[in-house]
Amino acid sequence: MWTYRAPLRDMQFVIFELLPVAADWSRTGAFAQLDAGTVMEILHGAARFASERLLPLNASGDAQGCHFEAGSVRTPAGFAAAYREFCEAGWPALACDPEAGGQGLPQLVNAALYEMLNAANHAWTMYPGLAHGAYECLRAFASEPLKREYLGRIVDGTWLATMCLTEPQAGSDLSKVATRAEAQHDGSYLITGSKIFISGGEQDLTPNIVHMLLARLPDSPPGTRGLSLFLVPKLECAAGGFRRNAVYCDAIEKKLGIRGSATCLMRFEGARGWLIGEPHRGLAAMFVMMNAARLHVGLQGLGHGEAAFQNALRYALERVQGARPIAEHAAVRRTLLTLRAFTEGQRALAYWCAHLLDVAQAHPDAGERARAADLAALLTPVVKSFLTENGYGCASAALQVWGGYGYLREYGIEQCLRDSRIALIYEGTNEIQSLDLLTRKVLGEGGNARLDALLQLLLAEASAAKDVGLVPFAETLATLLAQLRQATRALRTDASEDPELPQRVAGDYTRLLGLLMLGGLWARAARLAARHDRTDPFYRSKADTAQFYFDYLLPEASWRLRLIESGRRPLPHLSAPAAGRGRR
């Protein structure tokens, strides 16, 4: 039986001991009154919802999938009812501004909520998953009349939102977006074009669906600088009620996983839409939504890793082979520790990123806000790609613990593997995240200072570890950080002569940075654990897992440094196989 129990004790540890957030919150107006008891009560409620309402729909939703008929989508049994409960409990409003009808809690709490939702039922969570990003985007860029009409209904969950970027001919290359927008006399626009891979483009959870869509105005310059952002509702407000807009779902995709989530092919046939933000500045506005989405995709990887770990641990403790539970076997133990070390470390990293967004939003000091925003910008592509790669890797490693049973549908881990795979692809493939990280965030404008801010924090962690006697951790971390600095300097220098170099090694660089951040966070966890007696199983596990991370997982960093060095070698080009009997 696949189960899920939210790791509330670890969430509490990360939020209130490891990061810890209290000092930052106390400086803000918005969160100054928030205490740990309140936050943990909220997370307990979320844990109950995830385990009791969403988990039971996870396997059945996968088995049933979505059904498409005559333009309509039927989601799996129970999805709509669970969504109603989700709204009635106020979860969509959790981290929205009280002025807009929200509960005004930090992004960090919303991140913990979404970790649990994703861990329990990734496919279901796809539906509300983009609402918060749409809320932030509308709040920042929409006109007052649009805000009045849409914002409240998105905050309370009455309507759901989508992101309409990708087109058949475009893929990851948004400069090829061809959907057109024509201005009308009443200030609206008529939108014409096709969009693919639209999660929740059509569904039966909400009466209306708010599409956030990139399109091109007639006078637009070519490329991504010519894109404008539009709000295109399924139902538009009209005199005396709502009118069906010319937005059509033509098909839904058959997929490897997240089968309960409707991935739609959408057609806009002169559908009425409204401009969000400035003409030709749509991508900048959409990035607000995309950055929120990228953190949330990272939380999917985290959720899958956690679910895989919990279930594999339980199975390994129950399953006896050769007179011992298989959890005792060395190979299985190493797998389980890998899952624990990555998952708990990644929780700290993801929550840190979410907390930085809160500081960037709510800190009274403008300099602190800017610093936090800049660090969050550096962390986001790592959180998206490192956590999803490891989430999928953990699911596959966990599957192996079940042996042959892992390959069967009834044990649940094969669904976890299938569902987790999408997160490496959407919201910008992991390859694109890595390019963003290395070529833009690190080697691009302001990159030196941005990276340095991170490295200073990690070095301070190494130094603090040394002070409490964790000398090997401190030395390993300091050495690797110096090597990272050196490697970055070399990349910066050599890229001027060999502009492709960063592209060849961006994936290694991303993993390297992810591994070092987890190294810093595990060093900190070990330092906190050292204050506690080893008879306390929670802190003993933290100390042991930190040691395991430094022994067995962090060595990957040296390999990645080596590969970054190898990347100076040009990569040969590949051509089509020759005709004839052989391949070449």
Instruction: In whole angstroms, give the CA distance from residue 463 to residue 471.
Output: 9
Dihedral angle over CA of 126, 227, 361, 37, nearest 10? -10
Active site residue 427: yes
**Strands 180-183 and 189-199, sheet pairing:** antiparallel
Check if the beta carbon of residue 413 is closer than 8 Å to that of residue 312: yes
Comparing CB distances to a copy of itself, the nearer of 226 and 273 is 226
Instruction: In whole angstroms, give the CA distance from residue 509 to residue 160.
Output: 37
**Strands 189-199 and 235-238, sheet pairing:** unpaired
CB of 271: closest distance to a copy of itself in angstroms? 23
Three-state DSSP class for residue 11: helix
Q: Which of 214, 254, 213 is nearest to 233 (CA)?
A: 213
Cα end-to-end span (Å), the chain: 49
Comparing CB distances to a copy of itself, the nearer of 416 and 459 is 416
CB of 267: closest distance to a copy of itself in angstroms? 18
The DSSP output letter for 426 is: S
Comparing CB distances to a copy of itself, the nearer of 240 and 537 is 537
CB of 484: closest distance to a copy of itself in angstroms? 17
Check if the beta carbon of residue 295 is closer than 8 Å to that of residue 113: no
- 493-497 long-range contacts, Cβ below 8 Å, gap at least 24? 494/568, 495/443
CB of 331: closest distance to a copy of itself in angstroms? 4
CB of 102: closest distance to a copy of itself in angstroms? 27
Dihedral angle over CA of 312, 313, 314, 319, nearest 10? 80
> Bridge-partner residues for 243, per DSSP?
236
- Name residue, tokens 């990139």: 214
Length of the chain: 584
CB of 264: closest distance to a copy of itself in angstroms? 13
Three-state DSSP class for residue 239: coil
- Name residue, tokens 């669904």: 415
User: How far is the CA of 284 from the CAs of 141, 225, 345, 384, in angstroms?
Assistant: 10, 9, 31, 19
Check if the beta carbon of residue 301 is closer than 8 Å to that of residue 391: yes
Report CA torsion sign: 349, 354, 359, 361: positive
Among 318, 427, 445, 500, the active-site one is: 427
Comparing CB distances to a copy of itself, the nearer of 5 and 369 is 5
Q: Where are the alpha helices (DSSP H) in 319-365?
A: 330-362
Other CB atoms within 10 A of residue 207 CB = 12
Report CA torsion sign: 519, 520, 522, 527: positive
Q: Which of 522, 509, 578, 584 is nearest to 554 (CA)?
A: 522
Q: Chain-centre distance of CA 560, in angstroms?
A: 23
Other CB atoms within 10 A of residue 289 CB = 26
Q: Which of 5, 125, 6 is nearest to 61 (CA)?
A: 125
Retrieve residue 485's tokens.
């600095």
Comparing CB distances to a copy of itself, the nearer of 323 and 366 is 323
DSSP output for 108-174: HHHHHHHHHHHHH-HHHHHHHHTHHHHHHHHHHHS-HHHIIIIIHHHHTTSSEEEEE---TTTTT-G
Active-site residues: which are they?
Answer: 427
